[in-house]
A and B are shown apart, each in its own frame.
Chain A
Amino acid sequence: MDLENQARIKKLAEQYGRENLIVVQGAGDADSSELVAETVTTGDPSYAGPLTEVQLGLPVYHILEPEVKQHVPSDIYDEQVGLMELALDAEAIARAVRGIRDNASAG
């Protein structure tokens, strides 16, 4: 994740409190989604940015996960995300992000 974006998210977590901030991402595959999820939960795995060794533990989801989809009016969801839902491997992405979320809450 871009270093500037890490800094922004870190600041927002401090400003609003970790329990009040949710990250919803749209990365293009499972590995990439995992990387984003890891960064905002257990810290920057590339040891490059402000979130290095910072465990924000933010709830993180992918826009393609059913947990998110069920809360979005279906016409808007189809218009904004429908095409990529069909194009991307939504199941693998969901598995990857859920894995990070479960690990973070277990820890």
Chain B
Amino acid sequence: MTAVLKGASSILAHTPDLVPLGSKPTREIPRFEGLGEQCLAHLRSYREAVAYPPNQVFIGNIRPDELAEMKQPWWRNLTADAFREGPYGEIMPQDEFYGLLKAADAFDLIWLEEGFQSQIAAKLRLHPLLGDLKGLGGGRTIAEIRDKLARNEALPLNLGCDLVGCVCQAHEEDEALSASVILEGLSAKASAFLALRHLLARVNPTDPRDIDYLLDFSEGAVGDRYQRGGGNIAKAIGEMAGCLNATGADVKAFCCAPTHAIAIAAALVQAGTFDEVALLGGGSLPKLGMKFQFHVKKDMPILEDTLAAIAILIGKDDGVSPVIRTDAIGVHPICAGASAKEIYEEVAVKPLNKLGKRITDIDKYSTELHNPEITVAAGRPDTPLINYRALGALACLRGEIGKEAMGDFVRTYGMPGFSPTQGHIPAAIPFMGHARDMIMAGRIENTMFMAKGSLFLARMTDLSDAVSVIIERNPATRKEVS
């Protein structure tokens, strides 16, 4: 049974007031007088976040190739045609996301002020996909919330200057259940849930009970002090979305987790173990504001102000959706070295050889798609550009293109980065929805998704990791045409 890409969704939650709770801001703000105020002064409004061109690409209203033509800096050249909704998802405002956090909370750890909570509950009831959310009754008094914060048992949830709630620690002594870790887990759960809802609303079958299995590839790991990465947030998200017949598991491999998960899901479907597997990746709270000091210094808005989540549905062949080439999964084996040449040969050239293809036979490569406006402002490289240039250099070394064609290679086979620097989320998959639509519209024949994982950050090995997956037009559609 061939496995196909049945759909992909991408959502953003604009959470500027969570930026100070990101890992870097949490550590740096207390060290420098006035930095906290400067941070707040450089936060974007919701309207600005929605009109930010890369965010519109993320939810599918603009194609990546069109972004390449748009005037930079993008943050100064906002798009007039900006929408909350797009073909792959939406950009949710912060107040609604706080409501979603509350709905994701099964242990009374998110406390929202009662007036605010009822207001948000009413707002979410009008949301086309969230009218059935539970757990939004009641609320807490502002005195209770202040008291909890004063006792250092919680972190504040602000809306601009207003305190509207808090997130409580789940255990007095267990650092794995501190308020910060709980907020990290619930942010991933709530944002991935929203992505899953959008996915199910956009793909057949729409009934969440038809999902057999869930694989989560979120950045964080949930657990307690005895097993910090215990998991299984996939099941928690599935429960919230009503995937009553599914169970699942979490896939961990740094930024390679999404491509590993796609390979595993496709294999499960192809083996006949499951018919419909949903892949979930929630947003990363620690990565909010990671380069905020550089953005403040350059007097530009803090662009790492959105949580990003993606959901992908892989299922059995429907005769129309792009197929996943499980016979050509690219991997970086342990025996391969750390040189870029070996990595790219293993992960790009070898799988292509299996299919009798060359590098230039893939129409679009999706590498890690970090928005360069975020990283370059911090004096760091444009990650996607470097990856495309490395691929182009390999094509050049293999005699597929001339050296003078390397610049064109980047434009033709690549795209500008448009994803927030949300850890695993930028790792090739933000192009998933675009790729599916572009393949089904006949604009491209195939795409290779390729990601690298920085395993060395966990100090268990010097190795990095890399995995690639090729999707291509469903051969059944070709027969119909001929």
Contacts and interface: CB of A to CB of B under 8 A. Distances in A.
Contacts of B341: 79-80, 82-83
Interface residues on B, range: 20 to 34
A87 B386 contact: yes
Q: What is the predominant secondary structure among interface residues of chain B facing chain A?
A: helix
A84 B394 CA distance: 9
Given A79-B341, A80-B339, A82-B397, A87 B390 contact: yes
Nearest to A27: B381
A35 B379 contact: yes
A70 interface: no
Contact of A83 (B31, B381, B390): B390
- With a 10 A CB-CB cut-off, give which of A27, A47, A84 has the most chain B CB atoms: A84
A19 B381 CA distance: 30
A36 to B, nearest CB: 10
Interface string A20-38: 0000000111011011000
A84 B403 CA distance: 13
Nearest to A4: B459
A3 B293 CA distance: 15
B396 interface: yes
Nearest to A78: B341
Interface in B335-382: 337, 339-341, 344, 376, 379-382
Given A29-B382, A32-B381, A35-B379, A46 B339 contact: no
A48 interface: yes
A13 interface: no
B382 A87 contact: no
- With a 10 A CB-CB cut-off, give which of A27, A28, A80 has the most chain B CB atoms: A28
Interface residues on A, range: 10 to 19
B339 A29 contact: no
A88 B382 CA distance: 11
A29 B386 contact: yes
Given A48-B28, A86-B397, A87-B393, A79 B386 contact: no
A32 B383 CA distance: 11
A43 to B, nearest CB: 15
B380 A31 contact: yes
B64 interface: no
A1 to B, nearest CB: 11
A88 B397 contact: no
Interface string B137-155: 0000000000000000000
Interface string A34-55: 1100000000001110000000
B202 interface: no
A104 interface: no
A32 B393 CA distance: 21
- With a 10 A CB-CB cut-off, give which of A48, A81, A83, A84 has the most chain B CB atoms: A83
A11 to B, nearest CB: 17
Contacts of A80: 337, 339, 341
Contact of A84 (B28, B382, B390): B390
Given A35-B380, A87-B386, 8 more contacts: A29-B381, A79-B339, A82-B341, A83-B340, A84-B340, A84-B390, A86-B406, A88-B386
Nearest 7 pairs of A and B residues by beta carbon: A28-B381, A86-B393, A87-B393, A83-B341, A87-B389, A29-B381, A87-B390
17 contacts: A27-B381, A28-B381, A28-B383, A29-B381, A31-B379, A32-B381, A35-B379, A46-B293, A47-B32, A79-B341, A81-B339, A83-B339, A83-B390, A84-B390, A86-B397, A86-B406, A88-B386
Interface of A: 27-29, 31-32, 34-35, 46-48, 79-84, 86-88
